[in-house]
Amino acid sequence: MELEGTIFKKFDTQKVKDSFQKREFVMEVSDGAYPQRIKMELTQDKCQLLDSHQEGDKIKVSFNIRGSEWQGKYFVNLQAWKIDGQGGSNTGNNGGGYNPPPPDNLNDGSDNDLPF
């Protein structure tokens, strides 16, 4: 999925475990009269993708939706894997675009639509 907007807030990289790090940021996206502020995250080596961008920069973010359950509570994360924008194009360390695996069960053959 892709989303265009402005960087509203950048946070520092957090080391969650010895083998895992994440960095969060908030995008402001136009939605008629009421702009939306949406929190996204970068993980592992993708944390550095935000370094060349500043708060206020217009960006286009490619991301995956990830869900998880922990102790009976459910969480949804918007996990960014590519950021293009005013601060330059940044696709990661591999020199080319990163092609993430397709989301699980996205195309199950049904024509289900989101309930909202």
- With a pLDDT cut of 90, the percent of the chain lying above it is 65
What average pLDDT does the chain have?
81
User: Would the pLDDT of 87 be above 80?
Assistant: no
Give the per-residue pLDDT at 31. Answer: 83
| Residue among 30, 53, 47, 28 nearest 38 (CA) | 28
Give the per-residue pLDDT at 77. Answer: 94
**Domain 2-90 sits in which CATH superfamily?**
Nucleic acid-binding proteins (2.40.50.140)
User: Would the pLDDT of 109 be above 60?
Assistant: no
User: Would the pLDDT of 59 be above 80?
Assistant: yes
Distance CA 80, CA 3 (A): 10
Give the per-residue pLDDT at 111. Answer: 54
CB 101 within 8 A of CB 84: no
For 3-15, how does the pLDDT look when each residue is reduced to its tens digit (9 = 90+)?
999 999 999 999 9
User: Would the pLDDT of 47 be above 90?
Assistant: yes
Q: Which residue has the tokens 């194009």?
A: 89
DSSP-derived pairing of the beta strands 14-17 and 36-43: unpaired
**What is the residue extent of each domain of the chain?**
2-90
Report the predicted TM-score, pTM, of the whole model to 2 decimal places. Answer: 0.69
